[in-house]
Structure 1
Amino acid sequence: MSLGTKLAWDDTVLPFQLDRSDMRGRVARLDGVLSGVLKQHDYPPAVEALIAEMTLLTALIGQTIKLRWKLSLQVQTNGPVRMIATDYFGPEAEGQPARIRAYASFDRDRVEDDKPGFEQLGEGYFAVLIDQGKGMTPYQGITPVAGSSLSDCAASYFAQSEQLPTVFALSYGRSSEPGTEEHWRAGGIMLQHMPKASPFAKDGGSGEGGLLEAKDLVGDDADENWSRVNAHLQTVEELELIGPNVTSTDLLVRLFHEEQPRVFDAQPVRFGCTCSEDRVRQSLSIYSARDIEKMTTEDGQVTADCQFCGAHYRLDPASVGFEAGDGDQ
């Protein structure tokens, strides 16, 4: 298969619906997005794996929301990996790609490369933030870090905050295809009951610490469908999710042909950052001239670095802050 053909479904999110079982889902394949995210920093392999998983979750979840601006996922813990942050910016116009960016903060001396990434998170929380832009009140939902993966945390969020039974099948790792440099790839499937099929659970859940799980939310009339579709999903193989030889549509047919799958238009996704000099100036506009003086380097500049894309900004201290003269703006 040619590289050009493979790229037809790389860096896309394909929405679908299973008409027989009243479920909806997404298939995501990420390649260039991960390269854009990970090349900005020298992350240890365990941290790279966490970022790959979080970026994949962001692509899958972001496409399910009608966004005017931004979805953010965040994990904050007391472990060696202190924070992982991702942003998904909805398309600016029909036919345009969505943009994703991500980064992690970690204690390099505490990261153990022989341990799986999730074991290096410690205690903390998993948060989903939706910001629809100026004039809109941001939404935030939080659930404890629990389970054995970030996808478990995401499924727990949907169970607690949205009362939606949700399951993920994800795969990610370094690819060494002939003729290309080794790089990260990721692929995954997200499945959810349609909202009307989700009864509200009133008494605690069966998950860790009493958290709700998908099975706690599936009513008797939908339990058979949920069990059957999950059994199909569990047959998916790693190479089907991230390999170059199975298209997203072929994968859905292979897994769910009995469920009457129906696909919609795929959403392209790209690595992209929204940082700019104007945004840096805006963030500094709350500081006085005295505050700006304390931020000024020995060579007489105010500097700022974007954690997401690595951009470096150097500004004249006389031109920033709320006391800056009009002539220096």
Structure 2
Amino acid sequence: MGAERSRDASGVATDDIITPFQVDALDLRGRAVRLGPTLDAVLAHHDYPPAVKRVVGEAVALAVLLGSSLKFEGRFILQTQTDGPVDMVVADFVSPDKIRAYARFDKEALAEAETRNATSPAALLGKGHLAMTIDQGLSANRYQGVVALDGSGLEAAAHEYFMQSEQIPTRVRLAVGEEVRPGGAASSWRAGGLIAQFLPQDASRARMADLPGGDAPEGAEPHELAEDDAWVEARSLVGTVEDVELIDRDLSSERLLYRLFHERGVRVFDTLAISAHCSCSRERVSGVLASFTRDERRDMIQDDGKVTVTCEFCGRVYRFAAEEVLGGTQA
């Protein structure tokens, strides 16, 4: 095995990639994501208002950051259900490199939020829960983690998830922006994200304080643990990242990571290209229809004698003749 070779951070900014990195001196590992045309492709299938596009952009960036950690072929599904104007968002990442997403929103509630200037992604999501599902296919059970959304947005919910479920000190940064082009040309959208996790060889260094118990006696002292100095430093450095740095088309992920960690020495690994792709197909939709009872399928038949199904993700329309729908096994 040859010796490692140091080089200058690449100044070539590339969109639609994941850049894994490691800072040995801080026992830190993570990934940076930069999305451009891929995010535009995801959003192109829907006529979302700009504020909703920002919410979807954050969900896509977070799903790519978390889903790209899968070490097997499968899918990572991020889904919110909340009481805000954007009451549901689904981002579906298929490893190693495909993403799709859609959102459901209330037009009247969104308009009312705009009058109050309450259109940040956190405000539009509101309160509810965030579910993150890992699906390894038919050969294994699904794993799902659920965390509350308390009005603080996806970044805060991701921190809470890793604290509660994974017990890994973690920091996540997300940013989304609209790039307005001159001359009335259509605008484009960009998203960026960064996840950094403290993973020392001695696991005791990463211990976190116990979560407060609901049955703790009155006056009980909360459990506290001093944070490891390396994690305190790493967390502080990640906290300095500005939104514009995450989405600046002229700032490469490598240069950003160098800005953050050059004093400690940062290593980057092979990048992974990300693309927008919908996995729907006529066969898949037919399978979904077959899961309904015969009476339910009959009720789906329209006046023209067909059943029409539109994919929520990509907008593709599938039409089935009545005999195709009713020809399945009766339930």
TM range (shorter): 0.7 to 0.9
Aligned residues of 2:136 and 2:142 also touching (Cα < 8 A): yes
What amino acid is aligned across from residue 121 of structure 1 in structure 2? L
Deviation of 1:173 (Å): 0.8
Q: CA RMSD in A?
A: 2.4
Structure 1 segments of 4+ aligned residues over 4 angstroms from their partners? 5-8, 177-180
Deviation of 1:62 (Å): 1.1
Question: 1:69-80 maps to which residues of 2 (within 5 A)?
Answer: 69-80=74-85
What amino acid is aligned across from residue 36 of structure 2 in structure 1? D
Question: 1:116-265 maps to which residues of 2 (within 5 A)?
Answer: 116-146=120-150, 148-176=152-180, 181-194=186-199, 196=203, 197-199=205-207, 201-204=209-212, 220=226, 223-265=228-270
Tell me, yes or no, if structure 1 residue 305 matches structure 2 residue 313.
no
Question: 1:42-121 maps to which residues of 2 (within 5 A)?
Answer: 42-91=47-96, 98-111=97-110, 112-113=113-114, 114-115=117-118, 116-121=120-125
Q: Distance in 1 between matches of 2:46 and 2:196?
A: 32
Please give the TM-score of this superposition, normalised by the length of structure 2. Answer: 0.85
What secondary structure, in the 3-state scheme, does the structure 2 residue paired with 1:142 have?
strand
Deviation of 1:307 (Å): 0.5
What secondary structure, in the 3-state scheme, does the structure 2 residue paired with 1:20 have?
helix
Deviation of 1:168 (Å): 1.6
What amino acid is aligned across from residue 55 of structure 1 in structure 2? V
Please give the TM-score of this superposition, normalised by the length of structure 1. Answer: 0.85
Unpaired runs of 5+ residues, structure 1, are: 92-97, 206-215
Tell me, yes or no, if structure 1 residue 278 matches structure 2 residue 283.
yes
CA deviations on 1:240-273 (whole Å, 9 max, x unpaired) are: 2111222111111111012221111111111111
Q: Distance in 1 between matches of 2:272 and 2:308?
A: 36
Q: Distance in 1 between matches of 2:323 and 2:329?
A: 6
What amino acid is aligned across from residue 228 of structure 2 in structure 1? D
What amino acid is aligned across from residue 198 of structure 1 in structure 2? A
Aligned residues of 1:56 and 1:186 also touching (Cα < 8 A): yes
**Sequence identity, in percent?**
39
Deviation of 1:223 (Å): 2.3
Give the 3 Å change call, closer, same or farther, for CA 300–250 of structure 1 in structure 2. Answer: same
Give the equivalent residue in structure 2 for 1:208: none
Q: Distance in 2 between matches of 1:203 and 1:243?
A: 38
Q: How many residues align?
A: 303
Aligned residues of 2:11 and 2:254 also touching (Cα < 8 A): no
What amino acid is aligned across from residue 155 of structure 2 in structure 1? S
Unpaired runs of 5+ residues, structure 2, are: 1-9, 214-222
